[in-house]
Amino acid sequence: MKNWPAKILFARLSTGTKMLLILSAAMLPLGFIALLTSLDMARSASAERETAAQITTAMYAAQADAVVNVGLDAVRSPVVSTQPADDLCTALARQARLNPSGRPPTALFDREGRKLCQSWGPSIPSIAASDPSVDHVWLDPEGRRFRFTSARGDASLRAEADIPVRAIALGGQRKEGLPLTRLSLRQGQSEVILIDRRLPNNDRDELLRLSQPVGDGRLAIIAEYRLAPARARTMLLVMLPILMWAAAAFTGWFIVNRLLLFPLAQLKQSIDAWQGAGGPLLLPRMTTPSHEIRDLTDSFAAVSTRIYQHERELEEGLARQTKLTREVHHRVKNNLQVVSSLINLHARGAEGAVADAYGAIQRRVDALAVVHRNHYAELEENRGVSMRALAGELAASLRASAPASAAGMPIALNMIDVNVTQDVAVPVAFLITEVVELLMHCNPQGSVLISLEATGEPERATLRIETVGLVGDTLGDYPGIGRFDRVVTGIARQFRSPLTQDLDAGRFEIQISILA
């Protein structure tokens, strides 16, 4: 009974939390074992890397030893010989001629330090050794070279040689070792750097410095290796149990959420994204072992299929209706073209007033055809009729059917780019036709300007038709002015706006509705 409150508290936890606690407790011993194993492996890996660094340093020292031995052999060979100096010089010259790269440049000096000869290469200056009875090796930091000297016991002959430090073959570093940052040769205070790969922040890194003697202790080769920061390894080892606990938590989340709740979330997203008209409802493949979720998915799929089929039927009906509308517009356009052609044929055989009447009728039929053609062109996008295109085609038609007295009358346009409905486009076309025809009869030598300007209201524009060069009261004296006034007044009623007429100036102005 003492553990009863803890049992109640555990029972109130969610299934995911329970699984998290159980799996965490089960994984704790394994995590502790893994921690100890990682520590041992890290120590072993560190020891292996340090051993590899020692082997690499010994390899560099052996390569330097080989170069030093070559130099010492080059200076010892002449001095141990009992031949005269002239014979030795001849032998050095012959050797340099036959195999110049076989030995380094070697020079022979007498007791007073005068150079007797030199095998090849740059001139070798004399070096005064403190103890002529001992072979010497010097490191020249400025010239980056080794200097070798050896003398006979009676000091009657001394041999000297130079070898550049670049003769040391610096092979590739062992990949399993530590990164080499610096390699140098040192003799007392003299030092020649062979490799320097230090970065600006290397000073903060922990370095391993190893030293190996070269030339029987005459020199030393010093190598520096960069150690991996210990804190990184320590943090990784400390985080290892936490990572194992996270793996256990992920397992519990995967079982509870991934296999049960995630399929439901996928189903909800698919239903939210489905619009009904883009195709049947595409549901994700349910891999959950829960057959209830799979049955629910099948039910949604069946309902979406029925809705999609209904939408398809509506779309097909709309497509048939649109096709029918196009056919009607096409037939009306063809009929207007036939009527215009018949009027044109009859007008060719008429003269005088009859021909003028045919021309007036044809211009009005052409105006209606222009409106219909522009409306049909804009039908697909449903943006209305473009006033600029309508006025342009109408002006071209009026110039083509103008009376003989007004042939070639210029008609200029100054239109803002706006669209209007067909109910506005038809009376606009008739108004332009009536006014331009009147101006052709009254001022055949003048010109016409049709303009459309914006007003202060967003859906209103001012249509203005005016002529240039009108003389006297020509419009007022025109015999058909009364009929013209009745016609344009009737057309203006369709705009629900008054028509302003200035017969003296030949200007007609009215406001029309435009599409925003």
Pairing of strands 447-454, 411-415: parallel
Between 41 and 73, residue with greater pLDDT: 73
The predicted pLDDT at position 372 comes to 64
Of 5-14, 376-385, 408-417, 487-496, the least confident:
376-385
The predicted pLDDT at position 349 comes to 54
pLDDT reading at 480 higher than 50: yes
Which of 63, 68, 91 minimizes the C-alpha distance to 162?
Answer: 68
Distance CA 26, CA 161 (A): 74
pLDDT reading at 336 higher than 80: no
380 alpha-carbon distance from chain centroid: 37
Secondary structure of residue 270 in the 3-state scheme: helix
Burial class (CB in 10 A: 0-12, 13-18, 19+), 188: exposed
The predicted pLDDT at position 360 comes to 65
Distance CA 78, CA 159 (A): 7
pLDDT reading at 70 higher than 80: yes
Percent share of the chain, pLDDT over 90:
2
Cβ atoms of 513 and 454 closer than 8 Å:
no
The predicted pLDDT at position 392 comes to 87
Mean residue pLDDT of the chain comes to 76
Between 285 and 219, residue with greater pLDDT: 219
Residues with Cβ < 8 Å from 28, sequence gap 6 or more? 241, 245
- Give the N- to C-terminal CA distance of the chain in Å, as an integer: 81
For residue 443, name the pLDDT band (cuts at 50, 70, 90): confident
Q: How far, in Å, are 155, 406, 432, 486, 489 from residue 435 at the CA level?
A: 132, 14, 5, 12, 12
Cβ atoms of 500 and 486 closer than 8 Å:
no
Between 142 and 292, residue with greater pLDDT: 142
What's the pLDDT tens digit per position in 85-138? 777 888 887 877 776 666 788 888 887 778 888 887 787 887 766 566 678 887
Of 272-286, 295-309, 389-403, the least confident:
272-286
pLDDT reading at 243 higher than 60: yes
pLDDT reading at 203 higher than 60: no
The predicted pLDDT at position 1 comes to 46
Distance CA 430, CA 434 (A): 6
Burial class (CB in 10 A: 0-12, 13-18, 19+), 131: exposed
Q: Which phi and psi angles does 478 have, rounded to 5°? A: -65, 130
The predicted pLDDT at position 464 comes to 92
Q: Edge-to-edge strand order for the sheet containing 500-502?
A: 411-415, 447-454, 460-468, 507-513, 500-502
Cβ atoms of 373 and 330 closer than 8 Å:
no
pLDDT reading at 246 higher than 70: yes
pLDDT reading at 361 higher than 60: yes
Between 444 and 242, residue with greater pLDDT: 444
Two tokens at 45?
């890996």
pLDDT reading at 287 higher than 70: no
The predicted pLDDT at position 375 comes to 62
Distance CA 254, CA 243 (A): 16
pLDDT reading at 38 higher than 80: no
The predicted pLDDT at position 261 comes to 67
Q: Which phi and psi angles does 129 have, rounded to 5°? A: -85, 145
The predicted pLDDT at position 426 comes to 83
The predicted pLDDT at position 282 comes to 67
Query: 3-state secondary structure string, 466-485?
Result: EEECCCCCCCCCCCCHHHHH
- The H or E element containing residue 160 is strand 158-164
pLDDT reading at 512 higher than 70: yes
Q: At what angle do helices 352-377 and 422-442 cross, to 10 degrees?
A: 150
Mean pLDDT of the 152-162 span: 80
Mean pLDDT of the 282-308 span: 72
Cβ atoms of 497 and 459 closer than 8 Å:
no
Beta bridge partners of 466: 449, 507
The predicted pLDDT at position 329 comes to 67
Distance CA 466, CA 507 (A): 4
Mean pLDDT of the 191-210 span: 73
- The H or E element containing residue 106 is strand 106-109
Cβ atoms of 6 and 208 closer than 8 Å:
no
The predicted pLDDT at position 339 comes to 60
Cβ atoms of 253 and 17 closer than 8 Å:
no
User: DSSP letter at 459?
Assistant: T
For residue 451, name the pLDDT band (cuts at 50, 70, 90): very high
Between 286 and 316, residue with greater pLDDT: 316
Two tokens at 231?
């804190």
pLDDT reading at 19 higher than 50: yes
Secondary structure of residue 230 in the 3-state scheme: helix
